[in-house]
Structure 1
Amino acid sequence: MTTDRIALVTGANQGIGRRVAADLAADHRTVFVGSRDAARGERAAAEIGGSAVAVQLDVTDPASVAAAADRIADEAGRLDLLVNNAGISTTRRVGLAEFRRTSTPGTAPLDDVRAVWEVNVLGVLSVYQAVLPLLRRSGDARVVNVTSALGSLSLGLDPSSPTREAYDVVYAASKTALHGVTLAMLLESATTGVKVNLVSPGFARTALTGFHGTESAEDAAREVVRVSRLGPGGASGTFTTWEGVDLPW
């Protein structure tokens, strides 16, 4: 696949984001590799090679977000694809069992909730607002928000769903809030023309899960990449995992 499309992937110096950036760069796209740590971003972009370009981007820092958008505007003039991948599950150094025990509505530290939502919800909205003018310059713009099946209220309410017992107010609820933000983006797309999709990559062995996951970053990235590669005729408003399997919002 050869294309001159311009992409930005946030949180792309490691894990799923890095795999997504590498696969998109292999399509000969120009891929801005967003990384909070500039040096780690430069290393990741150099190792990805090709058309990968590092850009310092801390989604919780308005100045950093604005500077990244300005750089993309200066160097590329537009943006065709935004992959909002940056995310965290907790700021605490605890194991998965301890995290679940202490992330109920009655136990979750509010500082942890605020920090996670700042990245997973407000960070997504901040980057979207900053690059929306660039997306509107594209003839085929798309936003892919990376979420989790844990964020599905429908699954959380289903007694037979394996995600029900894992629903928490720190990480899972932040993804539910992201779904609300994504819906608002989708409704706005009637005036912006920007397609919007949600993707759950699965339970990957990455830093976000403390490397407790069941899938590799390569496998987990597969659906994010598939949706990111959709062309002008590709669907908007989907929530999928694993090769186009639909999930309930």
Structure 2
Amino acid sequence: MLLENAELVKRFFMNKWIFIMSIALVTSLYSCNNDTKLNGVIMVESEFQSDSDPDANGWTASFAEYRTTAVDSVLNLQAGVSRLPAPLDTTRYSLRMQSNNRSGNMFMFMKKRITGLRNNTDYQITFDVNLATQYPDAADVIGSPGSSVYLKAGASAEEPVRIAENGIYKVNIDKGTESAGGTQMVTLGNVANGGNTFVYRLISRSSPGNSLVVRTNDKGELWLCVGTDSKYEGLVNLYYDKIKATLNLAE
């Protein structure tokens, strides 16, 4: 009888040990998976596959750097998912942005919220952007729509929004001015198509390495922002084919 009880006690503690070790293993695996999510390289890639996507793959478009009294129809402000223009592959979709710069400056931008990052933590971010542009380096009578329109990309803990200040619509993040970048956006280059004629071509622009470090908010969020800062006083029409942001924990 004593042997039988001893055997029962032994089995009880053995089963309890197996249970505790199983819980510990599951917890360890969960921690590893969660750690990988937070610590690994995070890539946010956006391609605009259909014009039926109401939120353009999570991107929202806006415009700034013009007078609050200006009429949108005169500025010809347009944004939305559209097929790429000919002679490019017109079966592919893109995010199209257009404006007519009447005041000497125009900032066409889009933003996207990223979640699931570490709270109040610095991330190093690089960008790769493909877009369709028809503008050569050559200037017309009002300037050069290729070399006077600058592509920028960046991120911020707060949502980039348009605000009215002294009769001008501005953006609430530091994007810099014209060709110069700011603390929250870097300049990737201009939108010249690399040719001598007005024909749409796909171009690629990338951010300089290790150039942008941004701290998340207390919810582990960042807002990505991509746009063009223009001093060309005329109509500019661009098609964003692909946007990729790569995030690493800053050292």
Structure with more strand by fraction: 2
Larger Rg: 2
**Higher normalized contact order (CA 8 Å, seq sep 6+, divided by chain length):** 2
- Whether TM-score is above 0.5 comes out as no
Normalising TM by the smaller chain, what interval?
A: under 0.3
- TM (norm. structure 1) is 0.26
